[in-house]
Amino acid sequence: MKIALAQINTHIGNFDANVAIILQHIDRAKRDGADLVVFPELCVCGYPPLDFLEFDDFIVRCENAIQQIAESCVGIAAIVGCPSRNPFVEGKNLFNSAFFLENGGVKQIVHKTLLPNYDVFDENRYFEPNTVFRFIEFQGKRIALTICEDLWDIEEDKMYSQWPMEELQVQSIDVIINIAASPFSYKHAESRKRVLHQNAAKYKLPIFYVNHVGAQTELVFDGGSMVLNRDGNVVCELDYFQEDFRVFELDWVNTAKSVPFSAEGFSAPDTETERIYHALILGIRDYFRKMGFKKAILGLSGGIDSALVYTLAVHALGKENVLGVLMPSPYSSDHSISDSLELAKRLGAATETLPIEPVFSQFTASLSDQFTGLSENITEENLQARIRGVLLMAMSNKFGYILLNTSNKSEMAVGYGTLYGDMCGGLAVIGDVYKTQVYSLCQFINRNEEIIPENILNKAPSAELRPNQKDSDSLPEYDVLDKLLHAYIEEKNGPAELIARGFEKPLVDRVLRLVNTNEYKRFQTPPILRVSPKAFGMGRRMPIVAKYLS
């Protein structure tokens, strides 16, 4: 039996495009002599569809799409992910299902058992869990068809009360197929391999695993579909961060001993930094493509954050589609302008210059009566940031650009940013990238040639909103701050645990107060491309009005 894995990039709710790409791959599988072609979880409607699942019309379109796909399955079988209705009154109205299509129709439907309800997942909101376990029989082989999380409950501290493979493995299974929508984080590829390895080795069965690729707003799916033999060894791994398609002979998989992978595209990136780079490129590109946008605009300050976002945008969208706007303030240094212009020259991308001093003078003049006798403080700094935001949004509105936000995760965590100023935009590109990771990404970009000028990398970080300002005037040094933030946000260490790990109590109190009291700002930020195991946004749900200190 020949099994094809179709690692495709779908678009939520775009049924015509999704069906078209599925049909293309079914035709390709036929031409390549495959008996069965396997597609990712919920690929018919796109993942995650969220509250679109509550629209009856959305489900009707899913059903119509399945019928159209099934009609093409003559001379070949297919496994396709799609929601299905629960025929019983009890429970949720829908299942998260895998449709087995053969001979022009729906032969069998398998439902997902384990519904994740943590981090970015909220499947219990929409789906009823499966309670019936039946294999699929095809060409004399018994297939255990599972859906993503169905293979993931392998820890000693079990999250679920049922385990699909424990029910299926007693039925003389020959092969496991798992269709998935497993989002990217820079540590997740190893977790997937570990989970799949443990399942294959435990049940002594080969596994065919197919994952989504592409980005859906915040979530990036990195692909990395793979096949493992009955000993749990990966015998082939599909490309990362792009669509891919492979056909495998089941008998070969059962006897294969090593990884013969030699992809023409992206193999698994070696480092966390390289993975983050490719994820951000894919996230930007798919956000624009799927939203129907073409051109990006951003403020170019001469600092490392805007330099990185400018470079990523050029790599993702093309130099002709990115505009960097220099908006020098009365406190901007000469090198901030010259460094930005040098970066633009190296990238071959456009810039414009809009000095903010005339507007700032008018604003301060308008407020002079109200501010009489008061010294300058953060108010004047925020005014400058908001003027820049207004200018960028005006350019966006007039010329059809989408504004890219350039705030990093360290700044977002402690509220080091101005609402309706440097925190505005349509997409927060590096909002899940700590400042120390920003430097690593720039060094990765410069690995073969100096694209981002060294002067940008070497200068002290500064917002340049007052004379001789530096970030370190307001914040701990980033190498210390980022370690503390990671321990609190990603590792979920409480105040006492942080102090026990060696962080000084005054620092813990100060940083946690900043993180917790600035939740209201993060609530109003643009969508953030998720690259870490715990990103701000849909995966981290915290109360705005709360107090949690040591």
Number of folded domains in the chain?
2
Residue where a domain stops, chosen among 223, 257, 291: 257
Active-site position among 45, 82, 148, 424? 148
Q: What pLDDT does 157 receive?
A: 66
Query: Virtual CA dihedral for 137, 140, 141, 143, nearest 10 degrees?
Result: -10
The answer to whether the beta carbons of residues 352 and 388 sit under 8 Å apart is: no
Q: What pLDDT score was predicted for residue 268?
A: 64
* Number of neighbours of residue 134 by Cβ within 10 angstroms: 14
C-alpha 363/C-alpha 383 separation (Å) is 8
Q: In what order do the strands lie in the sheet with 105-111?
A: 105-111, 94-102, 77-85, 36-38, 2-7, 244-249
DSSP 392-457: HHHHHHHHT-EEEE---HHHHHHT-S-TTTTT-SSEESSTTS-HHHHHHHHHHHTSSS--S-HHHH
Collect all residues with Cβ–Cβ distance below 8 Å to 63 and sequence separation of at least 6: none
How sure is the predictor about 262, in pLDDT bands with cuts at 50, 70 and 90?
A: very low
Q: Is 112 a catalytic residue?
A: yes
Average pLDDT in the 503-521 region?
95
Same domain, 365 and 319: yes
Q: What is the 3-state secondary structure (H, E, C) of 258-272?
A: CCCCCCCCCCCCCCH
Contact of 184 with 211, CB cutoff 8 Å? no
Measured from the Cβ of residue 506, the count of other Cβ atoms closer than 10 Å reads 9
Q: What is the DSSP letter of 367?
A: T
Q: Do 288 and 245 have their domain in common?
A: no
pLDDT exceeds 60 at position 261: no
Report the C-alpha gap between 307 and 13 in whole angstroms.
34
Question: Is the same domain home to 118 and 236?
Answer: yes
Q: Is 424 a catalytic residue?
A: no
Contact 217, 265 (CB under 8 A): no
Residues 6+ apart with CB under 8 A from 448: none
The answer to whether residues 529 and 409 touch, using CB atoms and an 8 Å cutoff, is no
Give the separation between CA 28 and CA 477, rounded to whole angstroms.
54
Q: Which residues pair with 207 in a beta bridge?
A: 176, 228
The DSSP secondary structure of 89-137, one letter per residue, reads SSS-SEEEEEEEEETTEEEEEEE------STT--GGGTBPPP-----EE
> Angle at the Cα of 409 (from 217 to 541), degrees rounded to 5?
65
Q: Please give the model's pTM, rounded to 2 decimal places.
A: 0.94
Same domain, 233 and 302: no
Is residue 65 in a domain? yes
Q: Please tell me whether residues 199 and 241 are part of one structural domain.
A: yes
Dihedral over Cα of 249, 252, 257, 261: its sign:
negative
Residue 466: give its domain's CATH number.
3.40.50.620
Give me the pLDDT at residue 468, please.
Answer: 66
Report pLDDT digits (tens) over 406-444.
999 999 999 999 999 999 999 999 999 999 999 999 999
Domain closes at, from 426, 452, 475: 475
Is 458 part of any domain?
Answer: yes
The confidence score (pLDDT) of residue 475 equals 85
454-505: per-residue pLDDT in tens? 999 998 776 666 666 666 677 899 999 999 999 999 999 999 999 999 999 9
Catalytic hit among 2, 41, 43, 237: 41
Tell me, what's the pLDDT at 474? Answer: 74
Q: Which residues, in sequence order, are CB contacts of 97 under 8 Å at separation 6+? A: 81, 82, 83, 84, 109, 110, 111, 112, 147
In the three-class reduction of DSSP (H, G, I as helix; E, B as strand; rest coil), residue 72 is classed as coil
- Domain contains 305: yes
Residue 98 has pLDDT above 70, yes or no: yes
Look-up of token digits 């992809």: 263
Judgement on whether residues 253 and 285 belong to the same structural domain of the protein: no
Same domain, 249 and 293: no
Instruction: Give the number of other Cβ atoms within 10 Å of residue 68's Cβ.
Output: 16
Does any domain span residue 494?
A: no
The verdict on residue 267 lying in a domain is: no
| CATH number for position 133 | 3.60.110.10
Q: 411: closest CA among 346, 333, 463? A: 463
User: Among residues 436, 456, 475, which one ends one of the domains?
Assistant: 475
Q: Which range of residues forms the domain containing residue 210?
A: 2-257
The answer to whether residue 196 sits within a structural domain is: yes
Shared domain for 361 and 220, answered yes or no, is: no
Q: Is 548 contained in some domain?
A: no
Question: Do you find a cis peptide bond into 48, omega within 30 degrees of 0?
Answer: yes
Banded pLDDT at 265 (limits 50, 70, 90): very low
Report the alpha-carbon distance of residue 38 to residue 230 in Å, rounded. Answer: 19
179 and 285 in a single domain? The answer is no
Per-residue pLDDT, 257: 67
Q: What is the pLDDT of residue 489?
A: 96
In angstroms, the CA 430 to CA 337 distance is: 22
Dist. CA 277–CA 275, nearest whole Å? 5
Cβ-contact 374, 266 below 8 angstroms: no
What pLDDT does 465 receive?
A: 63
Judged on CB neighbours under 10 Å (0-12, 13-18, 19+), 167 is middle
Tell me whether residue 50 is exposed, middle or buried, using C-beta atoms within 10 angstroms of its C-beta: 0 to 12, 13 to 18, 19 or more.
middle
Q: Is residue 533 part of a domain?
A: no
Task: Give the residue among 153, 145, 210 at the shortest CA–CA distance from 182.
Answer: 210
Residue 149 shares a structural domain with residue 34: yes
Q: Do residues 391 and 364 both lie within one domain?
A: yes
pLDDT at 266: 44
- Residue 264 confidence (pLDDT) above 60: no
User: Residues 45, 102, 112, 464: which is the catalytic one?
Assistant: 112
Q: Please provide the average confidence, as pLDDT, over all residues in the chain.
A: 93
Q: What is the pLDDT of residues 351-397, one digit of tens each?
A: 999 999 999 999 999 999 999 999 999 999 999 999 999 999 999 99
Strands 219-222 and 234-237, by their bridges, are: unpaired
Lowest-pLDDT range of 52-61, 197-206, 468-477: 468-477
Same domain flag for 104 and 6: yes
Edge-to-edge order in the sheet of strand 427-428: 350-353, 322-326, 296-299, 402-405, 427-428
Cα–Cα distance, 84 to 332 (Å, whole number): 58
